Amino acid sequence: MYHPGKLFFALCGLLCSTNAWNNGLQKTPAMGFNTWNRFHCDINETLIRETALQMKELGFLDAGYTFINIDDCWLTKTRDANGLLVTDPVKFPTGLKNLTDFLHGLGFQAGIYEDLGSETCAGFAGSLNHELTDARLFVDLGFDYAKIDNCNSAGFNGTNPERFQRWTDALTQVQQETGKMLFYSLVEWQSFDAWTWGPALANSWRIYDDIQSDWGRITAILNNASFIGSFSSFWGHNDLDMLENGNGALTLAEQRSHFTAWALAKSPLLVGTDVSQLSQDSLDIMLNPEIIAINQDVGIGEPLTPFFWGKNPDGTWDPTFPAQYWSGFFEDQQHTAIMYINFNDQTVDLNFSFSHSPHLQASKSYAVRDLWKHEDIGAFSDFFFDASIPTHDVRAYIFTEQV
């Protein structure tokens, strides 16, 4: 039977192989924390220390959230007499080296932020024409991860990949000098095509405008992500942006869907909330070990991709109602991860035929595990069904082929 999902899968095996910049860091997506979504510029070293202590205490570190990342506003507006970036002495009185030592002492890695342009997005000193100096400084200060954003870079002549290549080159040279390579998180939002050239330059690349704690923004990002999963695999990942779990606005069902979709699209998972205020329900969502296991699968690099759009015809572009049925292998070709999101305004039942998914064999029987109920729910052949999926909620399953 002709099915667009299968055709796409077959062609993609031949045409979609990516040429990843494998710098030896993060075969699977980066996980951790970033200050921006919740705190914007209201950051300081006390916040970072307390966040790290809480992330460890709450179980995030053990669950794999290893990066503690400082976003914009950590620095001053001008460089010093030697051309070096200056850490804001009020926000970080004991300095960033002391802070990265503290983070490493707890078992975390440390991340920092800069922009390609003359100024950062918030108006602090940018890295344009200082890339190598700044990369050296970040290594001297003990960082492991650099997020490089796109602000105020209009003055630089060249294509987007040429501009971001400057940091790839700077990080590569600093590795030759010091032996230390930083994770490179690339944030491009002018041409919205970073997935085509980002894999050759960086460890992850943003695919969309900034996320907001808003269901409509989450569905819009997921709609775009649904068409470009084939560009993401081991060592290089589509970045759907930092998590909004815990930031209000989203219902628990929406938080479950947001987290599951980001994890199974193999996006980096960066907590973006005040962890000291986190509810137990929001915490449990971000710590679900069975969802994290798919994000961090060392056996299969490819993200889940849609095999059936559901309400819309297959292949439909709809930022308010993306593809609903997603599949991908997990660990090996005997295990299949399935995700279904209910974008409808009412509760629905789920029922789909195995023949739709390129990752299931219609002739086989599968034992199915529900990754949110944490239960084995029985064996299925030919088609699968489950009842009563609430509005905006998600289901995720592992199908294990029975021999």
CA distance 271 to 336: 27
Least gap, CB of 224 to ligand NAG (angstroms): 4
221 vs 285, beta carbon nearer ligand NAG: 221
List 146's β-bridge partners, or say none. Answer: 112, 184
Least gap, CB of 269 to ligand NAG (angstroms): 20
| Of the candidates 69, 103, 102, the residue with the CA atom closest to the CA atom of residue 272 | 69
130 vs 256, beta carbon nearer ligand NAG: 130
27 vs 49, beta carbon nearer ligand NAG: 49
Residues that bind ligand NAG (CB under 6 A): 39, 42, 44, 46-47, 94, 98, 102, 155-157, 192, 208-209, 224, 351, 383, 385
284 vs 382, beta carbon nearer ligand NAG: 382
Least gap, CB of 350 to ligand NAG (angstroms): 9
How buried is 391 (Cβ within 10 angstroms: 0-12 exposed, 13-18 middle, 19+ buried)?
middle
Distance of CA 276 to the CA centre of its chain: 22
C-beta atoms surrounding 212 within 10 Å: 16
118 vs 175, beta carbon nearer ligand NAG: 118
Least gap, CB of 50 to ligand NAG (angstroms): 8
CA distance 230 to 195: 9
Q: In what order do the strands lie in the sheet with 305-308?
A: 305-308, 325-330, 332-341, 394-401, 365-370, 375-381
Catalytic residue list contains 149: yes
Tokens of 198: 């980002």
Question: Which residue in 140, 169, 193, 210 is the catalytic one?
Answer: 210
DSSP states of 33-102: EESHHHHTT---HHHHHHHHHHHHHTTHHHHT--EEE--S-SB-SS--TTS---B-TTT-TT-HHHHHHH
Tokens of 189: 């939002």
CA distance 35 to 44: 10
Q: Which helix (H) or strand (E) holds 396?
A: strand 394-401
CA distances to 163, 189, 396 from 148, rounded to whole Å, are 11, 12, 33
Least gap, CB of 303 to ligand NAG (angstroms): 16
390: left (phi over 0), alpha (psi -120 to 50) or beta: beta
Least gap, CB of 45 to ligand NAG (angstroms): 8
CA distance 246 to 275: 8
Question: Which residue in 72, 134, 149, 241 is the catalytic one?
Answer: 149
Residues sharing a CB contact under 8 Å with residue 296, sequence separation 6 or more, in sequence order: 28, 29, 31, 64
Least gap, CB of 222 to ligand NAG (angstroms): 11
94 vs 333, beta carbon nearer ligand NAG: 94
| Of the candidates 136, 129, 138, the residue with the CA atom closest to the CA atom of residue 100 | 138
CA distance 105 to 109: 9
| Of the candidates 49, 38, 146, the residue with the CA atom closest to the CA atom of residue 94 | 49
Least gap, CB of 392 to ligand NAG (angstroms): 21
So which residues are the catalytic ones?
A: 149, 210
